[in-house]
Amino acid sequence: MKHLLKLLDLTGEEIVDLLDLADRLKAENKQGVAHPILQGKCLGMIFEKSSTRTRVSFEVGIHQLGGYAVVLSSDGSQIGRGEPVQDTARVLSRYVDGIMIRTFAQEEVEALAQYGSVPVINGLTDFCHPCQVLADLQTIRAYKGGLEGRKLCFIGDGNNMMNSLIVGGLKTGMRVSVACPAGYRPPREILEFAVGYPERFEITDSPRQAVQGADAVYTDVWTSMGQEDERKAREAAFAGYCVDEELMALAAPDAMVLHCLPAHRGEEISEGVFEAHAGEIFEEAENRLHAQKAVLVRVMGA
């Protein structure tokens, strides 16, 4: 495993391997076991989008593995002044042992991997969020005892989260049902992938249909970073897509709720549902640390 650019690049077996490693690192960390696997190695972290969980979890994770991080923001480096990504890749490859980037365009992540000579990890793009979904799958597996045959439902925008959940869920044997308005569906590349799983994938504009019998119900903000000018139009389009008590009554009786955070209570999720499932949601947030440590070990540990 050279890079983590998108889950489409991985097999189901590779995803499960990362989850197994994440579980082991998590358990041993809580027992006080040290993991100096990346002793002395440096992770260059590029942030063109703001971050809380991604930055803290990667910085803590590389430190726990014996390495250290150098953080670059777009307003404090030549990246923000338009330096070509291929030049950035070739320069940073001579300084660091791996690159994590959180940015807008998926093409920028792919170019870093193409022109650089060190592992590249996608910390989020507008197209996908593979690290978050690894943490999500790790959480579902822990709460439900496995992924095979479980139903994952996503309610909301056909954004990077929906894209990665469709891919990660289907590749690990889950049934995946998503609900989004017609004008906010996932891109063609994701829908073409999902066509290969006709018995385990459903897309609809009805949240009530999608959530029927779901073991895990997932939602995300309706307006992502960079879409602020669309807020009013999106609020109108997603009216009726709130994960509230009425909608949850249609899911499995022991259904869990997940959210990648930050959450807008009263919009995509009700205050009551969020607080009733806060234990699951914040365990999911913690698992960003453990899942990303597994990725760091696999791509930088050779």
**Domain boundaries 131-284, corresponding CATH code:** 3.40.50.1370
String of DSSP letters for 183-252: GGPPPHHHHHHHTT-TTTEEEES-HHHHTTT-SEEEE--SS-TT-GGGHHHHHHHTTT--B-HHHHTTS-
Sheet holding 120-124, edge to edge: 68-73, 42-47, 98-102, 120-124
Catalytic residue among 150, 175, 220, 259: 220
At residue 105, the 3 state secondary structure works out as coil
| Summary mean pLDDT of the chain | 96
- For the chain, what percent of residues have pLDDT higher than 90? 93
Catalytic residue among 3, 129, 175, 234: 129
Res. 302: pLDDT tops 80:
no
User: Rounded mean pLDDT of 257-283?
Assistant: 98
| Comma-separated ranges of CATH 3.40.50.1370 domains in the chain | 7-129+289-297, 131-284
Radius of gyration, alpha carbons of the chain: 19
Q: Of the candidates 267, 276, 174, which has an alpha carbon nearest to the alpha carbon of residue 215?
A: 174
> Does the annotation mark 288 as catalytic?
yes
> Does the annotation mark 234 as catalytic?
no
User: Rounded mean pLDDT of 2-13?
Assistant: 98
Sheet holding 151-155, edge to edge: 201-204, 175-179, 151-155, 216-219, 256-259
User: Rounded mean pLDDT of 100-109?
Assistant: 96
* Fold annotation for 7-129+289-297: Rossmann fold (3.40.50)
Catalytic residue among 64, 106, 132, 138: 132
Res. 299: pLDDT tops 90:
yes
> Does the annotation mark 102 as catalytic?
yes
What is the pLDDT confidence band of residue 143, given thresholds at 50, 70 and 90?
Answer: very high
Task: Look up the pTM and report it.
Answer: 0.97
Res. 138: pLDDT tops 90:
yes
